[in-house]
């Protein structure tokens, strides 16, 4: 009997301790109601790895949500390719200057007013760190408290984007470095000078102890490996527009975030989810939004190898691949075949390409007969084993490398290999770790490779053509370390446009502020791309972003809403909506509960009962023992 | 007594020889680690450049200029020079500064921020798994052929065949997602709780430990149980156990002093090695549960090719495994004097 009681008491005590450990934290959280809340997800590093110096690597910027803390001068609306004034009220080019007028009455989270000094300080730090904007400007001047101007040395829409979309950091935090940079700059010392390099080295180790901006959400200090919390800044200049009072971000990449989405603990995530997971989300009633990424996988050729350097061979390959099938097997509904193969994303074709240009572009629709005809015209023959042979009788065989960790690109590569092998061009797929693969392509250590086309979250075609012609082609472009890459000649005779210098055209398409002049060059480049095919774009990638409606958040606009022209990353549509109050709002259950008469705290009663149970059990045990 | 004979006597000493050997192993391993890490494809600067080019559409020159402004590392220095600097720093107790995951931060600071969590979670889990496995193994051996033995042995065989990360994922999906407990299965503690020596924080830490603890225990318990069962069965057949029984010694004394003590001996070496790995954490399990620990640190440092952090973590794992093996040798020597005599 005594033994049985002893076992019972011990069991009860263990159960009680476990129960208490579950109940106590719940009791703690029950004390504060955090509503209305929006829950997003983004990977970040916890201090000491993560830090508040948002200019250098591993800062706690929280990706797209950075602009909810430190705001830019303007937002960008992709549907009509226009900027929306934010911390800036207006801007214009005046002679050699780009002049920006700033909003009055804006304060940082510590109460200090936002002025031109903060904007200048942001760009002074970037000067020290050799930001690419300094190819286009050479001076930043504070005109008055609410006016700042930039001296232009090379006109380009790129500089406007850099200036208007950069989050503004507070002068109060970076004062010491901004002042030193200004001094050195005034002495004519640039980023390459020893003094500036020394200062930059010090700056890399600078770790501000506070994280402030002008944005609607401010740092609370509540951060763990799992999640981070931000609360609303009550003196926010645009407070009526912002409908949420708390922001929580779940830390992690796709594998860590997936269970949170499945548990409906996340309102929106930008991570790339595999089609099977996406299907599960849909079954649970979670909506999938598919915004354009303005980029995708492309089949590149090493043009040091014959016949990959022959345009007719590349065209044959383009005809031999069923790109619709490739898109579907790789990423389901979030991959779309490009109708025109212009080197530009689908969404750029209408605003940037003339109708006559579009009419001229070859879509390279799936046509294996045409591919076979091209090969036969050049002396290739198909053997009894179904494989094509060179005119000398050797079987045509290539290796296709791709980054192993990118699930959609891997699937695309496997499918290309299967399709081309079925067509008769033997392809051996080779997976390479994602950090090594770009190096191999840049070094020219490949035959066929899958890398990206398109400029991603950059709204000017320049970025797309840079990726298409220059990015993997350093030696021919005379840039970087001159690594051979795809070795695509950038000076060629073309059917569409005669003799062309493609590199010059790519850089020229982003020069000046005359959009019509830029369009002419863009059209020319599209025709050149379509004719010469430096790569075969397989499809354009669209997001598959789970968006939960009805739990904490509601009001996601319908799929055809122009807001979804904004990509999920660069000019993130969700950040646009949260800042401007467009669409998204809290559900009724995500609104603070009105104060009512205090009832019994069930959680605390449970804690007291458990403690009482343990005390009684221990008491019985000692009584029996005696 | 000549100097040579004194040296010879010292060298023949069991303890001295073991310690010297341990130092040798640590030196060789850390040297190999240094070079193997640098043989890995890519480097921190190239990774950063690619990230900048992909994320911001920067040209290679722009991205490289930015990288050179942000990183302090000079990878163009001759390898032997880097190695000599590494050794000098190491002998001064300086593990260097992080190159890429937290540029400029002393590696020791980074490790000290992660190590306590790993020590806490993995040591509790390993010891619990060991104790549970040993007890269950002895019971199964004593009741071999019975229902308990059949059920537990089958369970242990199945569970030890399932990889730990899979058990972790199953726990997340079937318990975390289905029962809405996912927020308690992520991280080492909740975001709103201030760390400190208070009941609220401690209970929250244990609550967050539950899922990784269950994963560690479930994935290792089977191995301990089956080993202990086999070892106990083998010991039960020894002559001295039969003699003890014939002498009419109490069963409890035979179980603990004769069977248990001898049966557990082979498991000590495995336990010692396992305890050594406590310092390395578990890369997969810590990543699945986003649990703060050295394993997660190692994962991020490998991805970012942060050479100094990787070197430091591998060095710590090496030292802890070597030291725990050394301790196992010494303890084994105490438990079984034949080991010392044999040497």
The CATH architecture to which A34-63+215-291+543-592 belongs is 3-Layer(aba) Sandwich (3.40)
Cβ of A226 within 8 Å of Cβ of B186? The answer is yes
How far apart (Å, rounded) are the C-alpha atoms in residues A168 and A8?
A: 63
Task: Residues A294-542: name the CATH superfamily.
Answer: Dipeptide-binding Protein; Domain 3 (3.10.105.10)
Pairing assessment for the beta strands A37-41 and A246-250 based on DSSP bridges: parallel
Nearest chain A Cα distance for residue B182, angstroms: 7
Beta bridge partners of A536: A299
The stretches in chain A having pLDDT less than 50 are 1, 18, 21-22, 24-31
Give CA–CA dist A612/A402, Å, rounded. 63
Q: What is the pLDDT of residue B153?
A: 92
User: What gap in Å lies between CA A352 and CA A332, rounded to an integer?
Assistant: 28
Whole-number pLDDT of residue A5: 60
Segment B172-201, tens digit of pLDDT = 888 888 888 888 888 888 877 777 888 888
B105 and A49 within 8 Å at the Cβ level: the answer is: yes
Chain A interface, best mutation among B48, B60, B174, by max A CB count within 10 A: B60
Task: Give the phi and the psi of residue A65 in degrees, each rounded to 5.
Answer: -80, -5
Question: How far is C-alpha A50 from the chain's CA centre?
Answer: 19
Low-confidence stretches of chain B (pLDDT beneath 50) = 343
Identify the pLDDT of residue A249: 96
B43 CB within 8 Å of a chain A CB: no
Instruction: Supply the pLDDT for residue A70.
Output: 97
pTM for the whole structure:
0.81
Domain-wise residue ranges, chain A: 3-31+595-625, 34-63+215-291+543-592, 70-210, 294-542
B329 interfaces chain A, CB cutoff of 8 Å: no
Nearest-by-CA chain B residue for A50: B102
Q: Which two tokens stand for residue A626?
A: 């005696």
Residues 10-29 of A with CB under 8 A from B: 20-22, 24-25, 28-29
Query: Tell me, what's the pLDDT at B259?
Result: 87
Is A252 in CB contact (< 8 Å) with chain B? yes
Tell me what pLDDT residue A141 has: 96
> Are B58 and A49 inside 8 Å of each other by CB?
no
Integer Cα distance of A272 and A112 in angstroms:
39
**Does A435 contact B at CB distance below 8 Å?**
yes
* Closest residue, chain B, to A227 (C-alpha): B191
Inter-chain touch B191–A225, beta carbons under 8 Å: no
pLDDT of residue B288: 87
A149 phi and psi angles, rounded to 5 deg: -135, 150
Q: What is the pLDDT of residue A113?
A: 97
* Interface test mutation site (partner B, options A225, A270, A463, A568, max chain B beta carbons within 10 A): A225
B11 burial via Cβ count (<10 Å: 0-12, 13-18, 19+): exposed
Q: What is the DSSP string of A490-537?
A: SEEEETTTEEEEHHHHHHHTTSSS-HHHHHHHHHHHHHHHHHH-SEEE
Pairwise CB contact (< 8 Å): A48 & B102: yes
DSSP state of B159: H
Question: Which residues numbered 221-240 in A keep a CB inside 8 Å of some CB on B?
Answer: 222-229
Burial class (CB in 10 A: 0-12, 13-18, 19+), B159: middle
Q: Distance of alpha carbon A131 from its chain centroid, rounded?
A: 19
- The pLDDT assigned to A528 comes to 97
Interface of A with B in 453-512 (CB under 8 A): 455-456, 458, 463, 466-467, 470-471, 474, 479-481
Q: Please name every residue paired with A144 in a beta bridge, in sequence order, or none if there are none.
A: A147
The pLDDT tens digits for B34-59 are: 998 888 777 777 777 776 665 555 56
Cβ contacts below 8 Å, chain A against chain B, sum to: 174
Residues A272/A546, Cβ–Cβ less than 8 Å: no
Residue-level pLDDT at A165: 95
Options 3.90.660.10, 3.40.50.720, 3.30.360.10, 3.90.76.10; CATH for A70-210 is 3.90.76.10
* Backbone region of residue A383 per phi and psi (left: phi > 0; alpha: psi in -120 to 50; beta: other values): beta
Q: Which residues pair with A227 in a beta bridge?
A: A250
Tokens coding B118:
């790993």
- Is residue A518 within 8 angstroms of chain B, CB to CB? no
Q: In A559-597, which positions are buried (b, 16+ CB within 10 angstroms) versus exposed (e)? A: eeeebbbbbbbbbbbbbbbbbbeebbebeeebeeeeeee
The C-alpha atoms of residue A98 and residue A149 are separated, in whole angstroms, by 5
In this prediction, residue A151 carries a pLDDT of: 97
Q: What is the pLDDT of residue A22?
A: 46
């Amino acid at each position: 009997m005594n033994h049985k009681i002893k076992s019972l008491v011990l069991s009860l005590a263990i159960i009680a301790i476990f129960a208490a450990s579950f109940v106590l934290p719940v009791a703690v959280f029950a004390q504060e109601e955090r509503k209305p809340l929006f829950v997003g997800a983004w990977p970040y590093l916890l201090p000491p790895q993560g830090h508040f110096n948002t200019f250098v690597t591993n800062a706690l910027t929280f990706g797209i949500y950075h602009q909810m803390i430190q705001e830019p001068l303007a937002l960008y609306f992709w549907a009509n390719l226009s900027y929306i004034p934010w911390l800036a009220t207006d801007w214009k080019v005046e002679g050699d200057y780009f002049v920006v007028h700033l909003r009055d009455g804006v304060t940082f989270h510590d109460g200090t007013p936002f002025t031109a000094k903060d904007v200048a300080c942001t760009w002074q730090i970037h000067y020290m760190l050799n930001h690419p904007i300094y190819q286009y400007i050479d001076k930043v001047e504070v005109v008055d408290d609410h006016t700042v101007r930039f001296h232009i040395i090379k006109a380009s829409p790129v500089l406007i984007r850099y200036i208007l979309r950069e989050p503004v950091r507070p002068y109060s935090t970076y004062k010491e470095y901004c002042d030193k940079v200004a001094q050195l700059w005034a002495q004519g010392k640039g980023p390459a000078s020893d003094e500036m390099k020394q200062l930059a080295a010090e700056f890399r180790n600078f770790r501000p102890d506070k994280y402030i901006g002008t944005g609607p959400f401010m740092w609370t200090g509540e951060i763990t490996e799992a999640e981070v919390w931000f609360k609303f800044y009550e003196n926010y200049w645009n407070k009526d527009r912002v409908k949420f009072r708390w922001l929580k971000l779940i830390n992690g990449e796709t594998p860590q975030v997936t269970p949170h989405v499945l548990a409906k603990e996340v309102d929106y995530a930008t991570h790339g989810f595999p089609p099977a997971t996406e299907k599960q989300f849909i079954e649970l009633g979670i909506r999938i939004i598919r915004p354009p990424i303005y980029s995708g996988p492309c089949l590149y050729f090493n043009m040091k190898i014959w016949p990959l350097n022959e345009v007719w061979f590349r065209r044959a390959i383009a005809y031999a691949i069923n790109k619709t099938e490739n898109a579907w097997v790789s990423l389901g509904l979030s991959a779309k075949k490009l109708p025109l193969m212009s080197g530009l994303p689908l969404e750029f074709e209408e605003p940037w390409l003339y109708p006559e240009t579009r009419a001229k572009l070859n879509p390279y629709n799936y046509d294996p007969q045409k591919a076979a005809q091209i090969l036969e015209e050049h002396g290739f023959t198909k053997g009894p084993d179904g494989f094509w042979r060179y005119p000398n009788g050797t079987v045509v065989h290539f290796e296709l490398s791709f980054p192993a960790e990118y699930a959609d690109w891997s699937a695309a590569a496997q499918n290309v290999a299967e399709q081309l092998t079925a067509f008769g061009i033997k392809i051996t797929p080779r997976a390479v770790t994602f950090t090594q693969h770009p190096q191999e392509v840049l070094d020219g250590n490949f035959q066929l490779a899958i890398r990206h086309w398109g400029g991603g979250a950059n709204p000017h075609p320049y970025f797309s053509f840079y990726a298409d012609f220059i990015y993997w082609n350093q030696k021919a472009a005379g840039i970087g370390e001159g690594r051979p890459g795809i070795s695509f000649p950038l000076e060629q005779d073309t059917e569409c446009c005669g003799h062309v210098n493609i590199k010059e055209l790519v850089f020229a398409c982003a020069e000046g502020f005359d959009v019509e002049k830029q369009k002419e060059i863009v059209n020319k480049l599209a025709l050149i791309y379509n004719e010469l095919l430096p790569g075969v774009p397989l499809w354009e990638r669209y997001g598959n972003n789970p968006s939960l409606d009805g739990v904490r958040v509601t009001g996601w606009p319908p799929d055809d809403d122009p807001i979804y022209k904004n990509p999920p990353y660069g000019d993130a549509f969700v950040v646009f909506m949260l800042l401007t109050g467009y669409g998204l709002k809290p559900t009724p259950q995500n609104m603070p509960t009105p104060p009512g008469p205090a009832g019994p705290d069930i959680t605390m009663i449970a804690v007291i009962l458990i403690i009482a149970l343990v005390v009684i059990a221990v008491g019985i045990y000692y009584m029996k023992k005696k | 007594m000549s100097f040579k004979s004194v040296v010879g006597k010292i060298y023949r000493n069991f303890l001295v020889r073991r310690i010297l050997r341990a130092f040798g192993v640590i030196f060789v391993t850390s040297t190999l680690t240094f070079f193997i890490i640098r043989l890995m494809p890519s480097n921190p600067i190239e990774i950063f450049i690619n990230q900048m080019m992909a994320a911001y559409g920067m040209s290679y020159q722009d991205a490289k200029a930015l990288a050179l402004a942000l990183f302090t590392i000079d990878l163009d220095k001759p390898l032997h020079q880097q190695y000599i600097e590494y050794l000098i720093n190491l002998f001064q107790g300086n593990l260097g500064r992080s190159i890429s995951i937290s540029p400029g931060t002393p590696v020791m600071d980074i490790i000290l921020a992660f190590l306590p969590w790993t020590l806490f979670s993995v040591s509790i889990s390993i010891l619990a798994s060991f104790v549970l496995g040993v007890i269950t193994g002895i019971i199964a051996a004593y009741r071999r052929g019975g229902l308990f033995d059949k059920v537990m042995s089958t369970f242990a065989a199945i569970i030890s065949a399932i990889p730990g990360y899979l058990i972790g994922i199953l726990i997340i999906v079937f318990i975390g997602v289905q029962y809405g407990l996912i927020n308690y299965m992520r991280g080492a503690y909740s975001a709103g709780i201030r760390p400190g020596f208070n009941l609220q924080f401690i209970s929250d830490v244990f609550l967050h430990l539950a899922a990784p603890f269950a994963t560690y225990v479930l994935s290792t318990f089977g191995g301990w149980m089956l080993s202990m069962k086999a070892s106990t069965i083998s010991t039960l057949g020894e002559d001295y156990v039969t003699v003890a029984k014939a002498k009419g010694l109490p069963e409890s004394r035979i179980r603990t002093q004769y069977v248990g003590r001898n049966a557990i001996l082979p498991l000590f070496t495995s336990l010692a090695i396992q305890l050594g790995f406590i310092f390395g954490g578990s890369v997969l399990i810590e990543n699945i549960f986003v649990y703060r620990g050295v394993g997660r640190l190692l994962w991020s440092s490998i991805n970012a090719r942060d050479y100094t952090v990787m070197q430091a973590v591998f060095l710590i794992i090496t030292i802890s495994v070597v030291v725990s093996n050394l301790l196992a040798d010494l303890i084994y020597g105490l438990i079984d004097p034949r080991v010392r005599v044999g040497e």
